[in-house]
Amino acid sequence: FNIVFGMARLDELCKLPGHQGIVWNVGWNQEGNILVSCGEDKTIRLWGRNVNSDWVCRSILSDGHQRTIRSVSFSPCNKLIASASFDGTCCIWDKSTSAEGNQYECTATLEGHENEVKCVAWSASGSFLSTCSRDKSVWIWEVGEDGEFECAAVLNAHSQDVKKVIWHPNQDILASASYDNTVKMYCEEDDDWVCFGTLKSHESTVWSLAFDSTGKLLATCSDDRTVKIWKEYLPGNEFGVATSDNKPTWKCVCTLSGAHPRAIYDISWCHQTGLIATASGDDAIRIFRIDPESDPNAPILEQLITVPRAHEQDVNSVIWNPCIPGVLMLTSCARHLVRHQFRP
Amino acid sequence: MHLQLNRSKLVYRYIDNRCRCDFVYFLVIRFSDGCVVFLRIEMTSKGIENVNPQRFTKKTKREITSEEEDESVEDPIDEREIFDLLRDINDPEHPMSLEELNVVQITNIEVDDKNNSVKVFYTPTIPHCSMATLIGLSIKVCLLRSLPPRFKIEVNISPGSHASEAAVNKQLADKERVSAALENSNLLEVVNQCLVKSLE
């Protein structure tokens, strides 16, 4: 996948109207052929192609939540969808075995958070689900084979509202981003979940974060209008970065400032191409990559594209298609979604 | 809890670290006999804090020029227009408008119509005003409802006029928390009361 610097383009493919009010989050299924979205109208919508290859709304899941649905995510097996809501709960939707392919029903409601649940994420193995909330806590749920969910940990490491949780692409390591300006990392140790690292450098709310395909780099974006790249340094690393308790240290190796005039609400790191896309409060989408010539311990982010008016309002979320390399990307804002095609 | 308090016999004030700036407030009351009472303030209750605020004179009505009446002339949104939207917002505690309390002033409004930017700096009546977040939220909601959605609305406390300035500004700038707050029907009701135009 070669990118000719300065030649890249981002073309709008289609708009998907349907939601009423703010669309907060979008996600792909693992095959990259079904899209799920959620928002202020308390519904979850599934989108797919019809016989003419047009993207259409295939089904609407409602009645699960009483308030805004902030986050939605497909399980790694594609069978389940998890949704997190301002009503303080997380719903699990199960694909029924009926003839129609896209019928889901709410089979479990995970309760426990004191107030708004901000994000829900499945681990790559599918064994864990994590939720985070304005109540400052991160919860880890163990997914049983019988469809039962059991709370495995309540982590109170953050001092403020937790905005986002994501799992490492191939290990059971969790990262969370918060209104307290920090990112925290968690792993399992002797049957207990512990926080093993606090990533401090942002000067305001960290809205989102994304691992690269190897899980050795992490990108974060913030209300402070910067993007930061963090690198994992294992114990005994050759660069002399200190570690403690035989745990890796995450160090900020790159700060990109000046590219975003307003808050950056989401970031997505394409595991196929290595491209990084950001969603910003200035209505724009931007695409970056790490300059392959730059020092891995001090990488340089180069900006490939800016689409200044990608939406009429704030761009809330951005996500690369997991299968079609670097080609499809989707963002959301008020009332509609827009699907984009990246052309290198 | 419903308390009848005789105001002449007590000293009361808000303590910074108890003011959670989270749309929930704590009031500490010190009675003259040494007794201290902590109260959690519901947003629907009326706890008067700045008992005797200064009343400022109101601006005159905006004069409508012939150019403004001409539909063919482009009429960008300006500071005065924003001020007119905000001046009649009621203070949550006093039967006065934000203009009369000098909380909003035309000189503290910055508008850039071309770049879709509106910035409002408001000045709480006292530096420990626990209603600061609620007033800011009312200003924000008023502008969100009145202006076209292309506008980016920033509402901040005038620099140096409040003890918890940074925390209040950060909360008002967090659109996710503002959205969640406005789904709280009790809070929304209080905000709507602030936004009801008084029948003068």
Find, in chain A, the residue whose alpha carbon is nearest to that of B166. Answer: A204
pLDDT at position B22 over 50: no
Determine, for residues B175 and A179 on separate chains, whether the beta-carbon distance falls below 8 Å: no
Over pLDDT 70: what percentage of chain A? 91
Give yes or no for B176 touching A (CB within 8 A). yes
Q: φ and ψ at A78, to 5 degrees? A: 75, -5
- pLDDT at residue B130 in the model: 86
Does residue A210 contact residue A261 with C-beta atoms inside 8 Å?
A: no
End-to-end CA distance of chain B: 34
Structure-block tokens of residue A328: 């499809």
* Mean pLDDT of the B109-115 span: 94
Instruction: Sort strands A149-155 and A138-143 into parallel, antiparallel or unpaired.
Output: antiparallel
pLDDT at position A4 over 70: no
* Mean pLDDT of the A8-26 span: 84
Determine, for residues B176 and A263 on separate chains, whether the beta-carbon distance falls below 8 Å: no
Looking at residue B108, the DSSP 8-state letter turns out to be G
pTM of the prediction? Answer: 0.86
Report ipTM (2 d.p.).
0.91
Structure-block tokens of residue A265: 């609400």
CA separation for the pair A288, A12 (Å, rounded): 18
**Of the partner residues B150, B152, B180, the one whose CB lies closest to the CB of residue A116:** B180
CB atoms < 10 A from the CB of A270, how many? 25
CA separation for the pair A312, A281 (Å, rounded): 10
CA separation for the pair A182, A297 (Å, rounded): 21
Please tell me the distance in Å from B21's CA to the nearest CA on chain A.
12
**Of the partner residues A86, A161, A334, the one whose CB lies closest to the CB of residue B149:** A334
| A2-6, A191-195, A257-261, A297-301: least confident range | A2-6
pLDDT at position B55 over 50: yes
Q: DSSP assignment of A72-100, as one string?
A: EEE-TTSSEEEEEETTS-EEEEEE--SSS
Determine, for residues B175 and A40 on separate chains, whether the beta-carbon distance falls below 8 Å: no
Task: Return the SS3 of A14.
Answer: strand
Q: Which runs of consecutive H residues, i.e. helices, occur in chain A?
A: none
Classify residue B137 by burial, with Cβ atoms within 10 Å: 0-12, 13-18, 19+. Answer: buried
A244, B31, B128, B131, B148 from B49: Cα distances, Å: 51, 16, 9, 9, 35
Cross-sheet strand order for the sheet of A285-290: A264-269, A276-280, A285-290, A301-307
